[in-house]
Amino acid sequence: MGGALVHGAGSQNLQNRLIMSKAEEMGMDCRQLIAGCEDFLELTYKGRSIVINKTRSHRLPLIAGLLAKNKEAANHLLQRRGLPVPPFIVVPDMGEKAARFLETCASVVVKPLDASGSAGVTLDIRTKGQLDEAIRRAGRYSGSILIQQFVPGADYRVLVIGGKVAAVTEYRPAFVIGDGSSSVRELIWQLNETRIRRSDIGEMEAFAEIQADSPRLAGVLDKQGATLDDVIPAGAKLELFELHNAPAGEISEIYADRTDSVCPANAEMAIEAARTLQIDVAGIDMRCPDIGRPITRTSGGILEVNALPDFTYHVFSYEGASRDVTRMYLEYLFEESLSASHN
């Protein structure tokens, strides 16, 4: 349950604040290239200056960023490299091709082809009606829609910096554990408070508040035979979200460090995925039952490779160790200067 105090005065973006605070700690000068502009930071160390875009380094080729944004092109290259990417198709709208693909896969995920984050993403779709609705939702963000086979298991983010695995985080839908005396509503309030306190951020920027009174949550609780006013037994787990036909952006998650659990085969596949797309600082999203076993043996897969990875959840882990990935990033950026100073 680690964390780090964040300073980064003058910046509102959390990634920038992490970088600015760590740079100051390491004796590096770090400031906004243009005052008030969050897009670019200028770092200076031992007479050498570089400009970065948050967690995008000065070494990232333009083509790599473009490939990462186009999920079809990225998946094509990953598949050609022999990496396990779940089957997918790209369609402009709901049609016979999409319907047939759903029949073949039984459960799918729908994503806007070239949008970032979780906007327009719907998970675990099982019926044509759900598929049609999900495609319409994704269509608000892109003219092309990616439909991919849904992979059972847990979600993992593998952070690769300079060809090495820096950290691995498991993220799963939020849940509460009963204590035998608190109501479900009180447990949710406690979870919200704990997530903020453990992050040391003191704000909701990185960890969105779980809305206890949302209709979707009421439905999830009802399926488990519970209400907000119920007191559940000590040790009993109650899920607060479900993945089935769920918009990804509406799911609050709990993050757990799994860096020491990843098996060498999965670590190497993450490194190879980043290398294939020429992304030096990459977040590789994998989904599988257990990150400690090769995803090629557990029907797991690589879902996406991100060229602007979020450091927050590695630094402010809800469960497990805090990983100082910001230091690793800065050491990578100035590896020549740091190496020279040690000689």
Q: What is the CATH number of the domain that holds 146?
A: 3.30.1490.20
Cα atoms in the 13 Å half-sphere on the side-chain side of 76: 9
In a domain? residue 200: yes
Mean pLDDT of 16-31: 95
Q: Choose the final residue of a domain: 224, 240, 256.
A: 240
Question: Which pLDDT score, from 0 to 100, does residue 11 have?
Answer: 64
- Indicate the number of domains in the chain: 3
In this prediction, residue 117 has a pLDDT band, given cuts at 50, 70 and 90, of confident
Is the pLDDT at 204 greater than 90, yes or no? no
Question: Which pLDDT score, from 0 to 100, does residue 200 have?
Answer: 55
- Average model confidence (pLDDT) for the chain? 91
Residue span of the structural domain in which 212 resides: 175-240
Q: Are residues 128 and 184 in the same domain?
A: no
Q: Which of 158-162, 198-202, 214-218 has the lowest mean pLDDT?
A: 198-202
Q: Choose the final residue of a domain: 198, 220, 240.
A: 240
* Model confidence, pTM: 0.90
In a domain? residue 317: no
In a domain? residue 8: no
Reported as a single tens digit per residue, the pLDDT across 216-247 is 899 999 999 999 999 999 999 999 999 898 88
Reported as a single tens digit per residue, the pLDDT across 278-316 is 999 999 999 999 999 999 999 999 999 999 999 998 998
Mean pLDDT of 182-197: 87
Angle, vertex CA 247, rays to CA 245 and CA 250, nearest 5: 130
